[in-house]
């Protein structure tokens, strides 16, 4: 019996990908570790290796195919134990034939439980989420995916059947009567009608942009955000940075304000370890080390590479690692382990002159710090007189399920204290 090679999940959030290139052709013999294909996910382009020995029987997906669902069949493999070779007239020529095998009936493969629970039905993660959102009873659906698996197409077919069989008059929604659900999935044809007299260009979404849109929409709707804001006096911080860079000048290392912010956040999480946690459904997962994710702008979206054990690293080490991660993120050369994980994130738009903003939490993180630009502002100086000081605006978005208001305020206070008294962040 042929073995199905399935679309791999190359990251925990991957639901579909693009098969950009095949490294094998039908009839090729492969061994574990041989490269099979190149797959583009929402985060990177990665190579997919064989895990079994055998002969490539059939390539089911052509190169360049987008939206290939995780766990859907992309090729079939004939295992070595299922092959026989027999000589033909030319003794130097061998013909490979498949052994006749009996396949397990589909009825035996499908879940035989009468429960309608989504957790006990063979269904893809994407189809599961759609079914939950749409309130579809999947016990009524026959899956067409591998081994009877219910996939996205099966749900679409069901909805199409329901529409075609509907006898009642459909509700008519006026163009100006737009609910949040309609805004989330505004009919494409309706948009074309609305903007028929305008000149425009359509830009198809790649996997990264689709994932960003989906994850952040879900995050904003499902995570109870609250926001805390503070100003940071920059005089000591700027003086500290100047002295650090002078000391490191012979090492060809130049730290940025952002590098120091990363260290300040890591130390603050150690000061308030209860905030160094993420939501785990029915429990909190608390971490010992401070793993900080940092948003990096790339073409078409953004990455959040994670600096592990940030609290244990010097500012100069953080600076070097951040530069390397950012460079490889822009080239889409990060491995999944380098952009997954962490409990806390930083997004800095200050370099673009943005005074302040509120960021959306990127799950599974429990908080994200939005960093604005440094500006001269009226302030009460240390001598009690009114003057002008350079200040930087911080806004922290917090998951209220993990971090309560007081704990969030204490965490942000610790970050501010670390930045205004940065000598405590040494050793460099």
Q: Which residues pair with 284 in a beta bridge?
A: 279
Integer Cα distance of 178 and 175 in angstroms: 7
Nearest to 213 by CA among 223, 221, 225: 221
Active site residue 365: no
Q: Which of 225, 272, 365, 400 is catalytic?
A: 400
Ordered strands of the 16-22 beta sheet = 45-49, 35-40, 16-22, 65-69
Backbone angles phi, psi at 321, to 5 degrees: -65, -40
Q: How far is CA 311 from the centre of its chain?
A: 24
Q: Residue 319's Cα: distance from chain center in Å? A: 24
Whole-Å CA distances, 240 to 199, 230, 348, 384, 399: 53, 20, 20, 23, 32
Length of the chain: 428
Question: Residue 131, SS3?
Answer: helix
First and final C-alpha spacing in the chain: 61
Distance from C-alpha of 419 to C-alpha of 25, rounded to nearest angstrom: 57
> Do the bridges between strand 296-298 and strand 301-303 make them parallel or antiparallel, or are there none, so unpaired?
antiparallel
- DSSP element (H, E) containing 263: helix 257-271
Helices 405-420, 257-271: crossing angle, 10 deg rounding: 130
C-alpha atoms less than 13 angstroms from C-alpha of 35 in its C-beta half-sphere? 8
Opening angle at CA 193, ends 188 and 195, nearest 5: 95
The catalytic residue positions are 400
């Amino acid at each position: 019996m042929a073995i199905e090679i399935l679309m791999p999940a190359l990251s925990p959030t991957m639901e579909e990908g693009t098969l950009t290139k095949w490294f094998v052709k039908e009839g090729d013999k492969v061994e574990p570790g041989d490269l099979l294909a190149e797959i583009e996910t929402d985060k990177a382009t990665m190579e997919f290796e064989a895990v079994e020995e055998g002969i490539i029987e059939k390539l089911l997906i052509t190169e360049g195919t987008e939206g290939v669902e995780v766990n859907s069949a992309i090729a079939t493999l004939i295992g070595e134990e299922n092959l026989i070779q027999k000589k033909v007239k030319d003794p130097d020529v061998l013909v490979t034939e498949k052994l006749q095998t009996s396949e397990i009936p589909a009825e035996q493969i499908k879940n035989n439980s009468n429960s309608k629970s989504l957790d006990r039905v063979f269904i893809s993660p994407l189809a599961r989420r759609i079914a939950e959102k749409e309130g579809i009873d999947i016990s009524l659906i026959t899956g067409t995916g591998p081994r009877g698996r219910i996939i996205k197409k099966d749900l679409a077919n069901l909805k199409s059947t329901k529409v075609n069989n509907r006898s009642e008059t459909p509700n008519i929604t006026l163009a100006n009567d737009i609910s949040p659900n309609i805004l989330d999935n505004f009919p494409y044809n309706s948009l074309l009608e609305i903007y028929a007299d305008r000149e425009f260009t359509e830009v198809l979404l790649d996997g990264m942009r689709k994932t960003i849109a989906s994850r952040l929409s879900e995050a904003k709707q499902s995570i109870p955000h609250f926001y805390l804001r503070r100003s940071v006096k920059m005089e000591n911080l700027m003086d500290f940075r100047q002295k650090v860079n002078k000391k490191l000048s012979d090492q060809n290392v130049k730290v940025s304000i952002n590098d120091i912010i990363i260290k300040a956040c890591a130390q603050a999480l150690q000061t308030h370890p209860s905030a160094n946690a993420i939501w785990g459904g029915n429990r909190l997962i608390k971490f010992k080390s401070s793993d900080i994710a940092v948003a990096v702008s790339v073409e078409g979206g953004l990455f959040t590479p994670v600096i592990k054990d940030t609290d244990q690293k010097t500012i100069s080490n953080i600076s070097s690692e951040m530069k390397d991660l950012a460079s490889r993120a822009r080239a889409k050369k990060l491995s999944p382990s380098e952009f997954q994980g962490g409990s806390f994130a930083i997004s800095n738009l200050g370099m673009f002159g943005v005074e302040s903003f509120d960021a959306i939490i990127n799950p599974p993180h429990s908080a994200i710090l939005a960093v604005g630009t440094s500006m001269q502002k009226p302030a009460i100086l240390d001598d009690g007189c009114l003057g002008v000081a350079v200040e930087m605006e911080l806004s922290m978005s917090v998951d209220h399920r993990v971090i309560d208001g007081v704990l969030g305020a204490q965490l942000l206070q610790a970050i501010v204290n670390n930045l205004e008294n940065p000598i405590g962040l040494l050793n460099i």
